[in-house]
Structure 1
Amino acid sequence: MSREDFKLLFDTYFDAIKNYLFYRIGDIDIATDITQDVFVRIWEKQMKLDMNNAKYMLYKIARDMLVSKYRRLEVENKYSQRMQFEMTEVVEDNDFDYKQLKLKYENALIKLPDKQRTVFLMSRMEELKYAEIAERLDISIKTVEKRMSNALFYLRKVLTV
């Protein structure tokens, strides 16, 4: 098909095909996209169209492309719905796991010896450095390190099951 024939075909039928698709789907953007795709396909495949029968062939190609687009959209929608369902399950599972872990953590903190719990909470909750903890509690930095090490060892053992 020559460039002039294609231009004539495009100018003659573009709006008619677009309007046909628009009335079928009600979305002018999708109708325009599909109409452009129809003409791109004709140009790329260098289809030989008889100008007397071109109109019917254009409508058939447009209808087929519309059906293909909606089949793809249907598959995409099913996939996205399935993914949303699976993500909801994961979030609910993670929320449940988090609550269980938090409960275990709180119970483990209660069971820690007072001196270890005090050092641990000062370090983690108040974000104090070991030297600041040692100064506040009037103990050595080595003692703070030992209590913290023991607290972490115990928590790690209790929380990793």
Structure 2
Amino acid sequence: MEKDDFKKLFDTYFDAIKNYIFYRIGDIDVATDITQDIFTRIWEKQIVIDISQAKYLLYKMAKDMLVSKYRRLEVENKYTTRMQFEMTELTEAHDYDYKQLKNQYEDALNKLPEKQRTVFLMSRMDELKYAEIAERLDISIKTVEKRMSNALFYLRKVLIA
């Protein structure tokens, strides 16, 4: 197709095709994109068009491209919806597991003997060294180590089982 013929075809039908698509989908940007794609395809493939039959061909191409676009969007939407559902499912399961583990941890802490719980919390929550704990509680470092060891053993047994 010659450049002048293409220009004439473009100038004559671009707005009509764009409006046809716009009326079908209600989005001027998408309508413009599809119309540009139609004319780009004609130019790139050097499709020879009889000017008297051009109107029918252009409307047919517009309809086909519109259907194709909707099919692609439908596939994308199905994929996106499925991924959102799976991610929501995973997040809810993860939240549930976390809450359940947190509850088990708190119950296990409450069941620890008071002396072991005190040493454990001073070490883990207050981030005190064994020597500091021993000094504050006025006990030996070996006693702190023994209480901590017993607390960790109990927590592992309860939480991992």
TM superposition score normalised by structure 2 = 0.83
How many residue pairs end up in the alignment? 161
Q: Report the 3-state secondary structure (helix = DSSP H, G, I; strand = E; otherwise coil) of the residue aligned with 2:94.
A: helix
| Matching residue's letter, 1:13 | Y
Is structure 2 residue 17 aligned with structure 1 residue 17? yes
Q: What is the alpha-carbon distance in structure 2 between the residues aligned to residue 21 and residue 83 of structure 1?
A: 31
Q: Deviations over 1:60-85 (max 9, x none)?
A: 11111101111111222222222333
Flag structure 1 segments of 5+ consecutive residues without an equivalent. Answer: none
Identity of aligned residues (%): 80
CA shift digits 1:30-52 (9 cap, x unpaired): 11111111122222222222222
Give the alignment's TM-score, normalised by structure 1: 0.83
Structure 1 runs, 4 residues or longer, greater than 4 Å off: 140-143
Alpha-carbon spacing, 1:51–1:153, altered in 2? closer, same or farther (3 Å)? farther
Which secondary structure does the structure 1 equivalent of 2:127 belong to? coil
**Structure 2 unaligned residues grouped into runs of 5+:** none
Please give the alpha-carbon distance, in whole angstroms, between the structure 2 residues aligned to 1:147 and 1:11.
Answer: 88
The match for 1:33 is 33
CA distance in 2, matches of 1:107, 1:2: 83
Q: 1:147 to 1:69 in 2, by over 3 A?
A: same
- The answer to whether structure 1 residue 112 and structure 2 residue 97 are counterparts is no
Counterparts of 1:11-160 in structure 2, within 5 Å, are: 11-141=11-141, 143-160=143-160
Query: C-alpha distance in 1, partners of 2:132/2:23?
Result: 75
Q: CA deviation at 1:3?
A: 3.0
